[in-house]
Amino acid sequence: MLKVKLPDGSIKEYSAPVRAIDVAADIGPGLAKAALAAQIDETIVGADTLLPADGELSLRFLTKKDPEALDVMRHSCAHVMARAVMRLFDGVKLAFGPTTENGFYYDFQTEQPITEDDFPAIEKEMAKIIKLNEPFERLDRSREEALTICRDMGQPLKVEHIEDGLAEHDTLSFYRQGEFIDLCRGPHVPAAGAIGACKLLSVAGAYWRGDASRQQLQRLYGTAFFDKKALAAHLKLVEEAKRRDHRVLGKRLELFTIDPLVGAGLILWLPKGAVIRGLLEDYIRTELRRRKYDAVYTPAIGRVELYEISGHYPYYSDSQFAPIVMDENEKYLLKPMNCPHHIMIYKSKPRSYRDLPVRLAEFGTVYRYEQSGELSGMTRVRGFTQDDAHIFCTEEQVAEEFRSCLEMTQSILKSLALDNYRVRLGFRDPQSDKYVGDEDVWNRAEAALEQVCREIDLPNLEIERGEAAFYGPKADFVVADCIGREWQLGTVQLDYNLPSKERFALEYTGADNKSHQPVMIHRAPLGSMERFIAMLIEHFEGAFPLWLAPEQIRVLTVSEKSEEYGRQIETALTEAGLRVTGDYRPEKLGAKIRDGGMEKIPYLCIVGPRDAEQGTVSLRDRLDGDLGAMSLDEALERLREEIASRRVRQIAETTVDLAERGGGHEY
């Protein structure tokens, strides 16, 4: 006797063996038709899964409306894609084909490379397969049979996977659709017709089993939705992201540039970008003063020996610029981080417990030789500036200092209306022995950190075991921008390694007149200026709030007749402390307004003969349009208030529904 509990709480009983789909049919033919998969207790299974003969289980059916069903369908679509590819190309060896958050991919080893030019043919073949609406048939086989099947099909990667990846499994499952059979744990939708709309997106290389020393496969990316509308919405989101691309906007709005002659991954901040960065730095400096940090400056290079002590050299030499060699005994490294320099400042005099915490802050520019394939705009670069600081404190002070760092980061994010973020607490993996420091100290530190995070009520706190640095636990801020993309930015990390005797042997004299080792905290609320501003550009779509806008207001003359008055107004605005320009070209007003709009200038100040006569200006707001004529004082009042409060009035909104996302699974 089997008792099946349904989501509405009702219970059905069966004495003869049934499949999930039979239960659905029992409830109603509509459900049986709509059911794409089922969930037994916590496990998602195919709709045709045979239920156990006895016992009790809860069962729910997944239809198009359930995000889990989208994931199942995309996985089925990956099979359809693989089937299409095998029809069109010779000697295709299958690897893995999982789903991702936004779609799916399948890795192949092919005799000939697949290129984007092949997409239309593959998509056409997929459409044919989907139209046939053949079922996905599950076959369970013993290990031996499974190996024979994969060998007979000429699928060496699958054979390898069975032999070691699935060494523990006694039985293995295949899914068959027509001539296509794939080793796969499933589940799948009942038949290919459930795939409403799909599209191939890109092709890229991917290492077999993620191992760079193994052969590289062709990874074909695609996505699928239950209907064309949802696919269109997703593609629109991709378009939207493209439109916000900081590399494009950064060029168009003249914020930064990268020149191969200077070097890949090295940012040249153009005047307008430099304004934004300068304002953010000023803002951070104010916050640092309030929080009793001491500003320091340190050089861009340091002796190699310094980094030998810190342990960063030669350990990270692959991702460092090669040393500058003056002679055998004199070698310098372009600094890959600021901490060793700050440590030497700490060590520049004896420290008493009365001096602690010592908080040393610097916008420190560091250089790392990232591998060429990693470079990307301002988000992944070879030279970047951290809003860095290092806090040296006693173990008793750690919790309070940590709290203060988190609060500072929160306050800065809040001032930019970046309200959607989560915090990841990286703790050590108790199984691993890669960590330095006493287990006791770790336990105390992790407990203190977690408690602080709970006390200040950090949003969406997650504890991730095994994500700590080897030298200490950390908290990372992951900020979501206005179209839902996540950026890892600020970080706070405890460090028990660098202060230790094996490294820099930091000390302070305690109340007991004995020497003690301080704890070090690395923290950077924004992370790197480059990366943070890249995120801001995309988040605001280049339309920065008034206080950050490189050009806050532009005087536009209605005709050249008003140039003199316009220049007076421009001077007055400049003297009032605004970043202002004037457009006195002999263009029509509409054209000047359009240009101002394209350059995302928050306010346009339009002056014509009427204004000159009455001593007024006509403000035009980037968001609300024409505000009408007003006195200069009135205009200034409005602008000053908006600047002083650092108001974020608008974040360009997304028009796309973010809800429709799958979870992504390994298969």
Of residues 589 through 608, those in contact with RNA by CB under 7 A are 589-591, 593-594, 597-598, 604, 606-608
- Residues in Cβ contact with 232 at an 8 Å cutoff, skipping those fewer than 6 apart: none
β-pairing verdict for 553-557 and 603-607: parallel
Q: Is 339 designated active site?
A: yes
The two structure tokens encoding residue 409: 């980061």
Sites for RNA among residues 480-519 (CB under 7 A): 493
Q: Which of 77, 150, 198, 339 is catalytic?
A: 339
Smallest gap from Cβ 154 to RNA, in A, equals 21
Sites for RNA among residues 541-560 (CB under 7 A): 558-560
Output 245-250 pairs: Cβ under 8 A, ≥24 positions apart: 245/377, 245/538, 246/377, 246/378, 246/379, 246/533, 246/534, 246/535, 246/537, 246/538, 247/376, 247/377, 247/378, 249/537, 249/538, 249/541, 249/542, 250/377, 250/378, 250/534, 250/537
x/- contact string, 395-434, with RNA (CB under 7 A)? ----------------------------------------
The verdict on 466 binding RNA (CB under 7 A) reads no
β-pairing verdict for 294-295 and 358-367: parallel
β-pairing verdict for 55-62 and 2-5: parallel
Query: Of 32-40, 109-117, 181-189, 413-421, which segment contacts RNA by CB under 7 A?
Result: 109-117
Smallest gap from Cβ 451 to RNA, in A, equals 24
Q: Which one-letter amino acid corresponds to residue 84?
A: A
**Which of residues 248 and 274 has its CB atom nearest to RNA in the complex?**
248
**Which of residues 99 and 320 has its CB atom nearest to RNA in the complex?**
320
Helices 439-455 and 398-415 pack at an angle, to 10 degrees, of 40
Q: Is 493 designated active site?
A: no
Determine the Cα–Cα distance for residues 548 and 351; give it in Å rounded to an integer.
40
Sites for RNA among residues 172-201 (CB under 7 A): none
Determine the Cα–Cα distance for residues 636 and 581; give it in Å rounded to an integer.
15
Measured CA to CA in angstroms, residue 531 lies from 102, 341, 469 at distances of 24, 23, 21
Smallest gap from Cβ 320 to RNA, in A, equals 5
Smallest gap from Cβ 302 to RNA, in A, equals 12
Query: Of 180-188, 344-352, 436-444, 583-591, which segment contacts RNA by CB under 7 A?
Result: 583-591
x/- contact string, 333-372, with RNA (CB under 7 A)? ---xx------------------------------x-xxx
Q: Is 393 designated active site?
A: no
Smallest gap from Cβ 442 to RNA, in A, equals 17
Exactly one of 588, 633, 641, 657 binds RNA (CB under 7 A); that residue is 588
Are 511 and 353 a contacting pair, CB within 8 Å?
A: yes
Sites for RNA among residues 561-580 (CB under 7 A): 561
Give SS3 for 331: strand
The verdict on 153 binding RNA (CB under 7 A) reads no
**Which of residues 111 and 440 has its CB atom nearest to RNA in the complex?**
111
Q: Helices in 271-397 by DSSP H: which ranges?
A: 271-290, 304-310, 339-346
In the 8-state DSSP scheme, what is residue 109?
E
Sites for RNA among residues 210-239 (CB under 7 A): 210-212, 216, 218-219, 221
Smallest gap from Cβ 34 to RNA, in A, equals 33
Sites for RNA among residues 625-664 (CB under 7 A): 625-626, 628-629
Query: Of 35-43, 110-118, 150-158, 161-169, which segment contacts RNA by CB under 7 A?
Result: 110-118
Structural element, H or E, at residue 617: strand 616-621
Q: Is 388 designated active site?
A: yes
The verdict on 31 binding RNA (CB under 7 A) reads no
Task: Please say whether the dihedral angle defined by the alpha carbons of residues 62, 67, 71 and 77, taken in this order, is positive or negative.
Answer: positive
Give the interface size with RNA as a residue count (CB under 7 A): 72
Smallest gap from Cβ 530 to RNA, in A, equals 13
Give SS3 for 604: strand
Q: Which of 48, 107, 388, 495 is catalytic?
A: 388
To which residue do tokens 């801001």 refer? 536
Q: Is 368 designated active site?
A: yes
The verdict on 206 binding RNA (CB under 7 A) reads yes
**Which of residues 65 and 588 has its CB atom nearest to RNA in the complex?**
588
Q: Helices in 89-191 by DSSP H: which ranges?
A: 119-132, 143-152, 156-160
Closest C-alpha among 43, 44, 10 to residue 26: 10
Smallest gap from Cβ 234 to RNA, in A, equals 14
**Which of residues 146 and 533 has its CB atom nearest to RNA in the complex?**
533
The verdict on 116 binding RNA (CB under 7 A) reads yes
| Chain centroid offset of residue 307 CA | 30
Give SS3 for 350: coil
Determine the Cα–Cα distance for residues 47 and 23; give it in Å rounded to an integer.
10
Smallest gap from Cβ 270 to RNA, in A, equals 12
Sites for RNA among residues 47-66 (CB under 7 A): none
Q: Is 474 designated active site?
A: yes
Q: Which of 474, 531, 539, 600 is catalytic?
A: 474
Smallest gap from Cβ 497 to RNA, in A, equals 10
Q: Residue 440 phi/psi, 5° resolution? A: -60, -45
**Which of residues 49 and 409 has its CB atom nearest to RNA in the complex?**
409
Closest C-alpha among 502, 490, 523 to residue 357: 523
The verdict on 300 binding RNA (CB under 7 A) reads no
The verdict on 464 binding RNA (CB under 7 A) reads no
Active site residues: 339, 368, 386, 388, 390, 474, 522
